[in-house]
A and B are shown apart, each in its own frame.
Chain A
Amino acid sequence: MLDFLQTLSDGVLFGATYALIGIGFTLVFGVMHKINMAYAAASIGGAYAGLLVLKALATAPAWMVFLGAFLAGGVLGWVVYAACFHFIPLSSPLAPLMSTVGMLLLIDEVIVHLTAGMPQNYPAMFDDVMLRAGAFTLRGDLLLVFGVSLLCMIGLLALLYRTRLGLATRAVSQQAVAAQLCGIRVARVNALTFVITGLLGGVAGAMIGASVGTLSPLITMPLTVKGLIVTVIGGLGSIPGAIIAGLLVGGLENVFQLYRGVTERDLYVMLLLFAFLVFRPGGLFSRT
């Protein structure tokens, strides 16, 4: 029982990073009804860019690296928007999909070329802290990741529901033409959505780097897949759905691994996805 609880709690805490990635996918989908396949790669790209802080100042504390990742994530978000959406005919659903797949590969390859594919040590905070209750433990750094992720989600929800930008974003997501007729600059809202999701992605990338302790371009593809699974299970366009689904996938993934082994783990996660697609295609929090 202890093993089960420990495995589940580790997975749920790590699932916070999936939730952050899932939110990025779902927010863009909610606003533009398009999938940004480059999101996880841009997030990891932001995390890598955060390491430039350490290049400039070797003794920089971890939070400065995270801040660097946050800002770089925002810049990359805008770059992805400009390159893959702004000048692409959005009427064809395949065009932005393919352009973002291309961007995913491009970001990946740029990282590989700049680092020669070598894993990079990533700073963490509270990585030496372990909360204990008997044999049950909780990792301090994962709790930080969980806490930061929660703060980001709360911040994002506040932005969406308490600001004019959020109102405009929601208006565009519900009816872009009507929003435009009301004077909302749709292209600007779209660009800002990418910047906001990029900022969030930078945090997600940094949190993933911090929780693993190492960054490698190897993780962009699995993160993309996890982000998409979380988005579908949570319900396309639903932020609370992405949060719950991220934690759920993280927890269940670990439990599957405990009972069925690492080679079968992803099989069950995929089965879970298919189960949702068949029995609840709208996801946990369907907006329809």
Chain B
Amino acid sequence: MKKIAVAIAVALAAGSAYAQEKTLKIAGFGAKSGVVRSFGINSEAALTAAADVINKQGGVKLADGSSAKLVVEFYDDRCSAEEGISVIRRIYGTDAVVAVGPTCSNVAEPLFGILQKKVEDKGDSGLQMPVFTDVAIKVGLARISEWAFRNVPNEMTMYSSLFYWLKTRYPNTQNVYGGVEEDFAHSRASWYAVMKDRAEANGYKVVGNSKWLVNDSNFATQVREMKNANADIVAISAHPFTTCGVLKEMQRQGVKPKVLVGLTSSSSLETLQGCAKQAEGMIIPTSFAPVTKEGKAAAETTARFKGAADLHSMAAWENMFILKQVMESEKISGDKNQLPADRRKIRDGLAKLKQTQGLLGVTKRTEDREADKPYLFVQAKGGNWVVLHNPL
């Protein structure tokens, strides 16, 4: 009887200690429904996997010397601006110390707009919530608010490097023809502001471009225009569904450029699932491939949480480790009553960062809270993305 009483007492004590274990909530958000659902699934898996690794290593050290475990709560914004704004307001009302997301640039842009613009502006009633973006990639969004930070690849740098490399690797290529998903913010910006501009800057003549819409299904006219242009390089700035539709139409019409370039976001499983055969040879600059020991481990751990490792989900993984480092260096309290102060400390800590450690190497942080991530060029080969060139 005495033994049972002791056992119960020990169990209760253990339970009580468990109940008192400190936690820090990280709010992830992104598209977990709709056609970009896979991005949200992968981000959530990567965030949870990274949190699991951090927790197993002892969690995050708080200002008072104790440790807290990371808890990830993921919210679905459906890749809709209205939903995204509603989600960030909900997150703001919880005890989450920081938010990681969103998936879509058309959500990030208005969402950053409701954050406080400048941290010291007392007259600005915008949300004071640090947001550390993993996926939304449209150029230059973090400058909208001092609470916005991004760990997304710099497309300007990557495509500049890619066209420079193509010029040296394929010296007989002279001109570029573009294909652009005209009604999708990221695709559009990537063609007009990045690919086209960088191709010209590297001595290529841009001989035209074909346009289509994100939910188009007939690309015959656009590909005929492409065929008539007979360019050496075709650069497609579109997401996997229309990229595949266009590639299949190119195959039918016998359009075979010397080099095929794709959009950063297309270096994912989706493109290979939709049209591996037609994408064969396509070159894409990306900020992730499982080429380092850390990268392989991150990909394997994320897979155990039912997510795929790509440039976006692995940015989410990196964000968790960066946040751990910032929370520890800024000595956050983890006390729910100190939530605004902790959020501010995380913001300030992120703003101070000059560089971070990523899965491919060191990422430089810029003054406007963006990342200058290491990258490499991958090529579709035999149904896989294989590393073609590492320019760094």
- Pair B38/A118 contact, Cβ less than 8 Å: yes
Instruction: Give bound CA distance, A266 to B290, whole Å.
Output: 43
What's the A-B contact tally at a CB cutoff of 8 Å?
Answer: 107
* Partner among A6, A11, A116, A263 whose Cβ is within 8 Å of the Cβ of B38: A116
Complex Cα gap A258–B33 (Å): 34
Closest to A263 in B: B182
Residue of A3, A118, A212, A262 most packed against chain B (CB within 10 A): A118
Q: A14-B218, A113-B37, A118-B274 are in contact. Are A213 and B248 (CB under 8 A)?
A: yes
Given A117-B36, A120-B274, A214-B274, A219-B215 contact (CB < 8 Å): yes
Residue of B nearest to A128 (CB): B252
Q: Are A112 and B213 touching (Cβ within 8 A)?
A: no
Q: Is the CB of A130 within 8 A of B252?
A: yes
> Chain B nearest CB: distance from A226 CB in Å?
10
Cβ-defined contact, B245 with A214, below 8 A: yes
Contact between chains at B218 and A119 (CB < 8 Å): no
- Please judge, given known A-B contacts A10-B218, A118-B274, whether A217 and B35 are in contact too, CB under 8 Å: yes
Contact B221 A7 (CB under 8 A): yes
Q: How far is the CA of A7 from the CA of B228 in the complex (A)?
A: 14
Do B34 and A262 touch across chains, with their CB atoms under 8 A apart?
Answer: no
Cβ contacts under 8 Å, B213 to chain A: 262-263
A residues in contact with B248, CB < 8 Å? 127, 212-214
| Contacting residues, chain B, for A117 (C-beta < 8 A) | 34-38
Q: Scan residues 196-241 of chain A and give those whose CB is less than 8 A from a CB of chain B.
A: 208, 211-214, 216-219, 221-222
A218-B215 contact given A6-B224, A127-B252, A139-B252, CB 8 Å threshold? yes
Q: Using Cβ atoms and an 8 Å threshold, which residues of chain B touch A7?
A: 220-221, 224
Choose one: B35, B224, B253, B273; the contact of A218 (CB below 8 Å).
B35
The reply to whether the CB of B288 lies closer than 8 angstroms to some CB of chain A is no
Contact A262 B245 (CB under 8 A): no
Known: A10-B218, A214-B248, A262-B216. A121 touches B35 (CB 8 A): no
* Chain A residue, CB-CB nearest to B218: A14
What B residues does A221 contact at CB under 8 A?
A: 215
Q: Is A36 an interface residue (CB 8 A)?
A: no
List A contacts of B36 (CB < 8 A): 117
Does A155 lie at the interface of the complex (its beta carbon under 8 Å from any beta carbon of B)?
no
Using known A-B contacts A214-B274, A262-B211, A262-B213, determine if residue A112 contacts B182 with beta carbons closer than 8 Å. no
Within residues 111 to 145 of chain A, which ones have a CB less than 8 A from any CB in chain B? 112-113, 116-121, 127-128, 130, 137, 139, 141
Residue B159, interface by CB 8 Å:
no
Sample of 19 further A-B pairs with CB below 8 A, known A7-B221, A216-B274: A6-B224, A10-B221, A112-B33, A112-B37, A116-B38, A119-B241, A119-B273, A121-B244, A121-B274, A128-B252, A130-B252, A137-B253, A212-B217, A213-B275, A214-B241, A219-B215, A221-B215, A222-B216, A257-B221
A-to-B contact residues, CB < 8 Å: 3, 6-7, 10-11, 14, 109, 112-113, 116-121, 127-128, 130, 137, 139, 141, 208, 211-214, 216-219, 221-222, 254, 257-258, 261-263
Residues of B within 8 A of A (CB): 33-38, 41, 182-183, 211-218, 220-222, 224, 240-241, 244-245, 248-249, 252-254, 269-270, 273-276, 278
Q: Which 7 A-B pairs have the closest CB atoms?
A: A213-B248, A119-B274, A117-B37, A116-B38, A10-B220, A117-B35, A216-B241
